[in-house]
Amino acid sequence: MKKFIIILILLLFAQTVYALDVVYPKKNVVTINAKSTFFIGSSDPKKKLTVNGKTVDIHKSGGFAYVVPLNVGVNNFNLKSGREKLNFTITRPETKTPAQTKPVPQFKEYEAMRYGIITEENTPLRATPVDAGINRISHLQKGMPVVIDGEKGNFYSIILGSNKTGWINKRNIKFTDNGSSLAELSGYDYIDTDEFFIFVFHLDKMTPFELVEGDTFQIKIYNVSDNPENTYIMNFPLVKSPEQAKLSGYSARFSGTDFIVKIRKPVLVDNSKPLKGLKITIDAGHGGNENGAIGCLRDYEKDLNLAFAKQLEEELNRRGAKVFMTRKDDSALGLNERVEMANEEDSIIFISLHGNAVPDGYDPNAATGSSIFYYYKQAKPLADNIISEMTAKTGMKNDGVRQSSFAVVRNTNALSILIEIGYVINPADNAKMREKDFQKVTAKAIADGIEMYFKREK
């Protein structure tokens, strides 16, 4: 009898766990403008699941992802699992061929130079007149005067020395009646602290600048008189030996008309305890009313991110790091807030944790593995070390290390990376990501990767 009751309870439990549940598309009647879409969800793996009569592979966890082509117009889909049925009506709108392609904006050169000031804090100065991507030269402060020699589309062309121009969106600039083309640099002070090399350049006004991460760390201040090409250049030598040549964060900003560049000194670790005392910020992506992606098994990405973050916090603390968490619960946080928190903590590493997804038109079954994103070159070696430890120890596919312009990795003060641990819309990845053991192994692998990065070669 007892046995029978237990079996009955198990059966009931199984029933509730494996009810046919479609996570995506989110509604039964939707419009999707793509050649294909997919059904993401879960159902009883012991029952046959069909979409319009065709059998769908179900992962042992119950998760499934199934791609369906979309014809222009109305597409009807019928999902069946045992006695359960769900109907979906997906409309693919007709793609209108544009009657006229918009004319490509032409460059209009001004007859005389014009002057303006930056109206927004952290305005991107771009290498191309495009409002997206990895084309940022630097970020300029509100109130900075600029010299403009023309315009193209939504952008003004900004003079940078005598041989170079940059682009700033028109909405971030206000014209002024007068101005001067060149700034004067009267000299600089050099301050050597325990943690930083600090340069204070004394100028008579704010002026655009660029910091170049190369073999040397190059500080370029544009539109400075008495310099070749009106550009002041300082090549800061990073210490020669390879383990000390790593750039580990820097900041550059005007305070009044003084331009202050702080470069973090190379961190020399104790090889037996490489993470001891290192300040590391862990950022669990999304939170609050921002769920992030939703997994096959209806896990919210924000919850998975937090679970990984907590495991990583524990692992790094165990190894002696000083860990700061941008969020420890399900609270909402802005992207800039997260970066500011890391900077306030003076972290040397900033790691944002996420779960990946793909849009309509892609195949979630083919999207699998871990990937890491960075924006500034200084963070790439850290990303490389972590991805190799992760893929070696978690069994996840190496989905690559890439440069990308995510807001949270556009921070120079710390080595900033964003880890996509796996694809929550991929049934196999999703099943792994919700396992506590996998979360622990991942945390260990990330910590190992950070150690590898800091360990000095003998």
**Distance, C-alpha 45 to centroid of its chain:** 35
Closest distance of CB 285 from Zn ion, Å: 4
Q: Which stretch binds Zn ion (CB under 5 A): 184-192, 203-211, 352-360, 450-458?
A: 352-360
Return the number of the residue (354 or 410) whose C-beta is nearest Zn ion. Answer: 354
Q: Are 152 and 126 in contact (CB under 8 A)?
A: no
Among 285, 287, 422, 449, binds Zn ion (CB under 5 A): 285
Return the number of the residue (80 or 354) whose C-beta is nearest Zn ion. Answer: 354
- The CA distances from residue 426 to 48, 191, 348, 401, 421, in Å, are 19, 52, 33, 20, 12
Q: Which of residues 3-42 bind Zn ion (CB under 5 A)?
A: none
Instruction: Give the whole-angstrom CA distance, residue 106 versus residue 338.
Output: 39
Instruction: Give the whole-angstrom CA distance, residue 159 versus residue 194.
Output: 37
Residue type for 35, please? K
Residue type for 339, please? V
Closest distance of CB 326 from Zn ion, Å: 13
295 belongs to the binding site for Zn ion (CB under 5 A): no
Instruction: Give the whole-angstrom CA distance, residue 330 versus residue 454.
Output: 32
Q: Which stretch binds Zn ion (CB under 5 A): 7-15, 253-261, 292-300, 330-338?
A: 292-300
Residue type for 157, please? S
Closest distance of CB 212 from Zn ion, Å: 30
* Residue 61: Cβ within 10 Å count: 17
Closest distance of CB 352 from Zn ion, Å: 8
Q: Which stretch binds Zn ion (CB under 5 A): 11-19, 171-179, 283-291, 344-352?
A: 283-291
Return the number of the residue (21 or 283) whose C-beta is nearest Zn ion. Answer: 283
3-state secondary structure of 404: coil
Residue whose beta carbon is closest to Zn ion = 354
3-state secondary structure of 331: coil
292 belongs to the binding site for Zn ion (CB under 5 A): yes
Among 246, 264, 327, 354, binds Zn ion (CB under 5 A): 354
302 belongs to the binding site for Zn ion (CB under 5 A): no
Return the number of the residue (25 or 292) whose C-beta is nearest Zn ion. Answer: 292
Q: Which stretch binds Zn ion (CB under 5 A): 151-159, 282-290, 327-335, 343-351?
A: 282-290
* Residue 193: Cβ within 10 Å count: 9
3-state secondary structure of 83: coil
Q: How many residues bind Zn ion (CB under 5 A)?
A: 3
338 belongs to the binding site for Zn ion (CB under 5 A): no
Residue 45, C-beta contacts closer than 8 angstroms, at least 6 positions apart: 18, 58, 59, 60, 61, 62
Return the number of the residue (168 or 294) whose C-beta is nearest Zn ion. Answer: 294
126 belongs to the binding site for Zn ion (CB under 5 A): no
Q: Are 344 and 373 in contact (CB under 8 A)?
A: no
Task: List contacts with Zn ion (CB under 5 A).
Answer: 285, 292, 354
